[in-house]
Structure 1
Amino acid sequence: MGKTFINGIGCVSAQDTVNGFPSEFIIDPSTNYLEIVKPDYKDYFSPIASRRMAKGVKNGIVASTVAMKEAGNESPDAIITGTGMGCIEDSDKFLKAIIDNKEEFLTPTSFIQSTHNTVASTIAINLGCKAYNFTYVNGAVSFESALYDAKLQLDADEAHSVLIGGVEEMTEYTKSLFKLAGFIKPDDSGPHNILEADTKATVFSEGATFFMLEDERKDSTYAEILDVEIVNKLTPEEAAEHAEAFIRRNNLTLHEIDAVVLGYNGDSEFDGYFKAVAKNFDFAPQMYYKHVSGEYNTASAFGLYVGANILKSQQIPSDLKANDESRPAYRNMLLYNQYRGLDHSFTLISV
């Protein structure tokens, strides 16, 4: 059985994460949507190329470039991405063109670029990489599906390095639909306190987070990924029991978990899942992150970004603390996420 190490990370998010892990985060409780901090795209591709790319593609290229550079590896044996909504910007453009032009005289560009695998394929084309290339579209566990695939390949010795990532983008039209559907909190409904929310829906955003996974430890190593598990449907009580069973399956006890990263998103209807899991770990430091990243289908990739950086630095930023517990050292960490009561993911990482 091989090992899986995170040797490089790149992240584009609602925080200034392109240049490294922030010691302080910008928190705006008044808004229901967090705008991403755009990187300087001209440092990664030409303005001409940039005009043809959707946000998700540009952010994915930036994040993947940073991850590969940090790991010192620009020739991965596989490229795997996860996305819930795909390139929704180009999808919107194509559907609007169908309506405006009454289904006539349509150009195929937006349709071609709207496919969910556009990010992974564009990265591969830029690298000249003809290796395994796959995109998972599996709701809120799209990223974990990519992570699971990558770990299987490394475990089976079918790859020595795998570039994985989670990418989402948002448009004004899709945002308006999400508000109508009750996924995003209403305008002017703040301030929003994620941990003490008493209203439904969430604060949304978008982003791209990439990891270079390799089967050997390096100076740049952040953490080792021990295990990943995905469950579609659980009750809060079952989620807590599953978390405990997941840890014991990896030959650890609950008290050997030094920190827990939970995906609280401020939706009072479903945050009970996180509270149920957290109750089993009231002795350990607990963290949350969606108040700084926003919610989106692959926000759990940002959660792994947070967890990996904390293990590497051995420090928890005060803005991310969900309780007052602390440890002299952080070795084993559990990450748990779910969205609207479905798509539960459990990830175990270690130094």
Structure 2
Amino acid sequence: MKLTDFKFETEDFNVPDEPVEPRDAAKLMVLDRSDKSIKHEKFSDIHKYFNEGDVLIYNNTKVFPARLKGKKEKTDADIEVFLLRELMPENMLWDVLVEPARKIRIGNKLYFGEDLMAEVIDNTTSRGRTMRFLFEGTNEELYARLDEIGEMPLPPYIERDPVEEDKERYQTIFAKERGAVAAPFAAMHFTPELVKKLEDKGVELLPITLHIGWGTFRPVEVEDLTKHRMDSENYYISDETSAKINEALKSKKNKVVGCGTTAVRTIETSITASGISKPGTGWTDKFIFPPYDFKITESVITNFHRPESTMLMLGAAFAGYDFLMEAYEEAQEKDYRFFAFGDAMIIV
């Protein structure tokens, strides 16, 4: 398939800039691949599509306030730094993006209040820099300070400034392992009440960790999808999660459900030559697009994604391209909410 196969207009789409409350009040579209049928539910009813013994894999990454506003030394000019990833915690070394890039050079010192300063030590890309925080305290104390002064990195298509409430709103109830600069959207619809419904039904909810990078919003720029390269992201799968996945696969009657494209990419990365999930940590740049033979995932929960995005392509690989495009047309007709704070679908 080609990039242009995933192009469509979004100017008439309903794109909210905050989530519904309660979160499980979002709409849920149910796509059944066996008969190509489409049903409409509330997300709070998703437990109806699970059976006892099924496993639901979710991403427990936590978004941190990665956007910092500050001043450049001497000139006192306004600058902005976007924290991409921590490189060396013991040295407080970070991979960042800077604005205005042309004025921030190696050796510059950047100030983010009276008690927090950083030094630029290398260039990486046109806007990229390696930066070291000059902070007298522990790494945990540094994170606490970043939590105070940083802004949440809302998706670039959200047309408003971040506010303090976004530190809770742009997060899932599963958020535990700090390190992401984007939320796992599909998991944002879950509430404690819905989790209890699933657990009472005998569903196993199991975490993986994949720290989502800013590359998730980077557009695909090549028409030939085989030439696109994803940014590498760090992941972790525990022994327990891997073992429970393998039990479900062996049972033949229980299914493995991936909650969100990051969970799907992670468990599909973990597959061994013998067809089972392997625990551990590593980096993945796995790009899933049609056609793709899913080895572990048997059902997918996902949001309605942007055109030409890798998340949309993964959905098409699982549902089938024509079926998914039909679903998107119906979602627009029925005023579904799209993108990060939008509604969801489950593909069974």
**Normalising by the residue count of structure 1, what TM-score does the alignment of the two structures yield?**
0.29
More helix by share: 1
State the structure with more CA Rg: 2
More strand by share: 2
